[in-house]
């Protein structure tokens, strides 16, 4: 029995020496996310909603421009008729209308329609309509000037500039029809004029 006890004590002593002489080191396990720099969430730029107030202002700016365009459109027929009769006021009126239309075209190109639903489509149609109308005015002005210089002796209907004016006016009418269709919902929303092609 003494021998067994001695063997047990010896085994314990050897085990204790091994443990104290070579202590085991804890194994460090990298946990989820340890040693990895946190990923910054991707920043998103949210689009600020367009306010009803800004949309109304943009619609009213178009309305004002169209009111001026209507005045030029209404006076053109009388001006051409007067120019055909060699009335000096007719030529002067055509010239004024041409300048006015040029200014309206510049304003249309500068319109901000970012807050309007379908704003780009509305603006494109309006710019096309005014650009073609301006081309027509230029052609009519060239005819009226030459017609006056010739003492109104030449034919009107067959004149190249007069015919070009009519052709450009017809093309402008198609663009005005596109604009009127795109504009109608905006006019209804903000209580504005539902412009017809013949009024622009």
Residue 24 within a domain: no
Residue 136 within a domain: yes
Please check the confidence at residue 148 and state whether its pLDDT lies above 80.
Answer: yes
> How far is 77 from 90, CA to CA, in rounded Å?
10
């704003």: which residue's tokens?
A: 119
Range in 45-54, 118-127, 131-140, 184-193 the model is least confident about: 45-54
Residue 174 within a domain: yes
Q: What is the sign of the dihedral through the CA atoms of 96, 162, 136 and 195?
A: positive
Residue 3 within a domain: no
User: How high is the pLDDT of residue 49?
Assistant: 56
Exposure string of 123-132, with b = 16+ CB inside 10 Å and e = fewer, is bbbbbbbbbb
User: How high is the pLDDT of residue 190?
Assistant: 95
153 pLDDT band (50/70/90 cuts)?
confident
Domain count, the chain: 1
17 vs 157, higher pLDDT: 157
User: How high is the pLDDT of residue 74?
Assistant: 78
- 80: tokens are 């051409």
Residue 106 within a domain: yes
Exposure string of 150-174, with b = 16+ CB inside 10 Å and e = fewer, is eeeeeeeeebebbebbeebbebbbe
Residue 58 within a domain: yes
Q: What is the sign of the dihedral through the CA atoms of 133, 129, 67 and 177?
A: positive
pLDDT digits (tens, 9 = 90+) for 78-128: 999 999 999 999 999 999 999 999 999 999 999 999 999 999 999 999 999
Q: Are 122 and 179 in contact (CB under 8 A)?
A: yes
Question: What's the half-sphere exposure (Cβ side, CA atoms, 13 Å) at 97?
Answer: 30
Please check the confidence at residue 135 and state whether its pLDDT lies above 70.
Answer: yes
pTM beyond cutoff 0.75: no
Residue 68 within a domain: yes
Closest CA to 71 of 107, 100, 103, 109: 100
Closest CA to 154 of 164, 169, 143, 165: 143
Domain span holding position 114: 52-199
pLDDT digits (tens, 9 = 90+) for 2-35: 444 434 444 444 343 344 444 444 444 444 444 4
Using DSSP's 3-state secondary structure scheme, residue 112 falls into: coil
Residue 85 within a domain: yes
pLDDT digits (tens, 9 = 90+) for 160-180: 999 999 999 999 999 999 999
């Amino acid at each position: 029995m003494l021998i067994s006890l001695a063997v047990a004590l010896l085994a314990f002593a050897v085990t204790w020496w091994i443990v104290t002489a070579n202590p085991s080191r804890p194994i460090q396990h990298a946990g989820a996310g340890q040693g990895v720099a946190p990923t910054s969430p991707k920043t998103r730029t949210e689009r600020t909603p367009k306010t009803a107030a800004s949309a109304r202002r943009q619609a009213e700016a178009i309305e004002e421009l169209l009111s001026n365009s209507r005045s030029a459109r209404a006076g053109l027929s009388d001006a051409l008729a007067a120019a055909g009769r060699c009335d000096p006021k007719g030529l002067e009126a055509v010239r004024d209308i041409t300048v006015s239309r040029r200014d309206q075209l510049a304003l249309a190109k500068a319109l901000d329609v970012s807050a309007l639903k379908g704003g780009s489509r509305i603006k494109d149609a309006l710019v096309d309509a005014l650009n073609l109308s301006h081309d027509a005015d230029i052609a009519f002005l060239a005819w009226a000037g030459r017609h006056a210089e010739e003492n109104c002796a030449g034919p009107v209907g067959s004149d190249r500039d007069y015919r070009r004016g009519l052709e450009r006016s017809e093309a402008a009418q198609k663009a005005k029809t596109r604009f009127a269709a795109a504009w109608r919902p905006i006019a209804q929303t903000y209580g504005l004029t539902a412009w017809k092609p013949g009024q622009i």
